[in-house]
C-alpha cells in the first residue's frame, strides 16, 4: 500500500509492468482478474489490521476474540488469491517464486485446517469426570478425569484444553497430576476466574463427559541447575502439584523450595499441598498475603541463600512474574534460569 501511496503523491514513478510469461489465454485471464485481486488485497489488508488489533487489545472479550480470530484464515486465503493473480508469471521460474509457492501452499493447508475446525483434532481424546472436590473459600474445584486409552501421556507441568460444553469451547488448564498409565486418571484444579469457570464450580459433577486436547507446553521443570525454586502464586500452584506428585514417585532430583503465596486461604487445600510437599521432599513456604504480607524477591533470597545456583519456575499473575524476573536478573540470575508459565492465551 505504501509504495502505491508514494506513487500517488508523485514521489516515485510507477514501474513498468513485467512482460508477462504465460500464453495469451492465461494473460487475458490475469488481466481480467487484476482489478478484482487488487481490491480484494486492499480490503483484506484493512480487515486483517482490525483482526490483529482485536487480538492485541485485551479489553475486547476473549469469546469475541476467539470467534473473530478464525476469520484471519479467510483473510489469508483472500491474500493467496491476490498474490497468485498479481505475481509476475516469470517469478514462478525463479527462487522467489519457489519460496512463494512453498509458503502459499503451507499457509493454504493451515488455513483450511483452521477453517474446518480441525486444529488439534489429532490430539483430542475423550474422558469422563470421576470425582469432584470443592474448596469453597478459594472458589476452586478439583476434578479427577479418566482419559480414554489414546492419551499419549504428559510431562508434569504441561497443560491441556478441556471441553465440557461444545458451545463454550475449550479452556486451557494445567494437568495437576503426573501421568499414570495404570489408572489413566488426571486431575484439573480450576478457579472461578470468570463467567465460565464460575459455572464450572456450580455445574461440574461426576460422570460428565469431556474432551481433552493435549498435552501442550514446556513448563516441565527440565533443566540442569543444581537447585530449583518453584513459585506458585494462588491458582498458579497447579503445575507444582503435578511436579510434587511426580517427585514423590521419582525421587532423586535437585533440592526444591516451593513458595506458595495466596490471598484466599483454605486449610484443607493447604493441607493437601503440604502432604504433597512432604511426600516429594520439597521445602514448602506458604504465605497468606493478608496475614504475612506480600512475598518479595528479597524474602525468597533470604529463605534460599543458595538461590544463585537455582533455576526459578514461576506460575501466577503475569505482572508478579515479570517483577520477580527483573529483580532476580538485576541480582545476577542468568536470563535462561527463569521460567514463567502464562495463564493467558493473549
Ligand X SMILES: Cc1cc2nc3c(=O)[nH]c(=O)nc-3n(C[C@H](O)[C@H](O)[C@H](O)COP(=O)(O)OP(=O)(O)OC[C@H]3O[C@@H](n4cnc5c(N)ncnc54)[C@H](O)[C@@H]3O)c2cc1C
Residues 6+ positions from 145 with CB-CB distance below 8 Å: 127, 128, 129, 130, 162, 185, 186, 187, 188, 210, 212
190 is an interface residue for ligand X by CB under 6 A: yes
User: By CB neighbour count within 10 A (0-12 exposed, 13-18 middle, 19+ buried), where does 49 fall?
Assistant: exposed
> Which residue lies nearer to ligand X by CB, 173 or 338?
173
Stretch that binds ligand X, among 76-84, 86-94, 171-179, 273-281 (CB under 6 A): 171-179
CA 6 to chain centre: 40
CB of 308 to ligand X, least distance (A): 29
323 is an interface residue for ligand X by CB under 6 A: no
Contact residue for ligand X among 45, 62, 81, 92 (CB under 6 A): 62
Question: Mask of contacts with ligand X, 4-33, x by CB under 6 A?
Answer: ------------------------------
314 is an interface residue for ligand X by CB under 6 A: no
CB of 88 to ligand X, least distance (A): 43
CA 90 to chain centre: 42
CA 262 to chain centre: 23
135 and 142 in contact (C-beta within 8 Å)? yes
User: By CB neighbour count within 10 A (0-12 exposed, 13-18 middle, 19+ buried), where does 61 fall?
Assistant: exposed
Contact residue for ligand X among 35, 93, 194, 209 (CB under 6 A): 194
Contact residue for ligand X among 76, 135, 151, 159 (CB under 6 A): 159
171 is an interface residue for ligand X by CB under 6 A: yes
Helix (H, G, I), strand (E, B) or coil at 210: strand
CB of 67 to ligand X, least distance (A): 11
Stretch that binds ligand X, among 70-78, 189-197, 226-234, 329-337 (CB under 6 A): 189-197
CB of 315 to ligand X, least distance (A): 8
> Which residue lies nearer to ligand X by CB, 8 or 169?
169
Backbone φ and ψ of 14, nearest 5°:
-65, 125
Strand (E) or helix (H) holding 78: helix 71-86
Cα–Cα distance for residue pair 207/132, rounded to 1 Å:
10
289 is an interface residue for ligand X by CB under 6 A: no
Strand (E) or helix (H) holding 40: helix 24-56
211 is written with which cell numbers?
474432551
CB of 223 to ligand X, least distance (A): 19
CB of 97 to ligand X, least distance (A): 39
The total of other beta-carbon atoms located within 10 Å of residue 224's CB is 6
| Residue closest to 133 by CA, chosen among 251, 241, 47 | 241
CB of 170 to ligand X, least distance (A): 6
Residue nearest to ligand X (CB): 194
> Which residue lies nearer to ligand X by CB, 297 or 341?
341
Stretch that binds ligand X, among 16-24, 102-110, 168-176, 306-314 (CB under 6 A): 168-176
191 is an interface residue for ligand X by CB under 6 A: yes
Kindly list the residues in this chain that would bind ligand X in the complex (CB under 6 A): 62, 159, 169-174, 189-191, 193-197, 235, 238, 343-345
Amino acid at each position: 500500500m505504501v509504495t502505491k501511496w508514494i506513487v500517488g503523491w508523485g514521489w516515485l514513478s510507477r514501474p513498468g509492468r513485467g512482460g508477462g510469461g504465460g500464453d495469451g489465454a492465461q494473460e487475458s485471464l490475469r488481466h481480467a482478474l487484476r482489478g478484482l485481486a487488487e481490491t480484494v488485497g486492499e480490503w483484506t489488508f484493512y480487515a486483517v489490521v482490525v483482526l490483529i488489533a482485536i487480538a492485541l487489545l485485551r479489553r475486547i472479550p476473549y469469546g469475541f476474540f476467539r470467534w473473530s480470530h478464525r476469520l484471519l484464515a479467510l483473510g489469508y486465503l483472500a491474500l493467496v488469491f491476490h498474490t497468485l493473480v498479481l505475481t509476475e508469471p516469470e517469478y514462478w521460474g525463479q527462487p522467489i517464486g519457489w519460496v512463494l509457492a512453498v509458503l502459499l501452499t503451507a499457509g493454504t493447508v493451515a488455513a483450511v485446517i483452521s477453517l474446518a475446525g480441525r486444529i488439534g483434532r489429532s490430539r483430542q481424546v475423550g474422558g469422563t469426570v470421576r470425582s469432584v472436590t470443592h474448596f469453597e473459600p478459594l472458589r476452586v474445584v478439583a476434578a479427577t478425569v479418566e482419559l480414554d486409552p489414546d492419551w499419549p501421556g504428559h510431562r508434569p507441568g504441561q497443560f491441556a484444553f478441556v471441553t465440557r460444553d461444545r458451545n463454550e469451547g475449550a479452556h486451557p488448564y494445567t494437568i495437576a497430576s503426573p501421568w499414570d498409565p495404570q489408572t489413566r486418571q488426571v486431575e484439573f484444579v480450576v478457579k472461578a476466574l470468570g463467567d465460565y469457570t464460575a459455572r464450572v464450580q456450580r455445574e461440574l459433577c461426576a460422570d460428565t463427559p469431556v474432551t481433552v486436547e493435549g498435552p501442550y507446553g514446556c513448563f516441565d521443570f527440565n533443566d540442569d541447575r543444581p537447585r530449583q525454586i518453584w513459585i506458585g502464586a494462588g491458582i498458579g500452584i497447579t503445575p507444582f502439584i503435578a511436579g510434587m506428585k511426580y517427585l514423590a514417585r521419582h525421587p532423586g532430583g535437585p533440592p526444591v523450595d516451593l513458595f506458595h503465596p495466596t490471598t484466599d486461604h483454605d486449610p484443607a487445600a493447604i493441607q493437601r499441598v503440604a502432604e504433597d510437599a512432604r511426600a516429594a521432599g520439597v521445602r514448602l513456604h506458604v504465605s497468606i498475603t493478608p496475614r504475612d504480607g506480600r512475598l518479595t524477591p528479597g524474602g525468597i533470597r533470604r529463605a534460599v541463600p543458595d538461590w544463585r545456583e537455582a533455576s526459578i519456575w514461576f506460575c501466577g499473575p503475569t505482572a508478579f512474574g515479570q517483577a520477580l524476573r527483573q529483580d532476580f536478573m538485576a541480582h545476577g540470575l542468568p536470563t535462561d534460569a527463569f521460567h514463567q508459565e502464562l495463564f493467558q492465551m493473549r
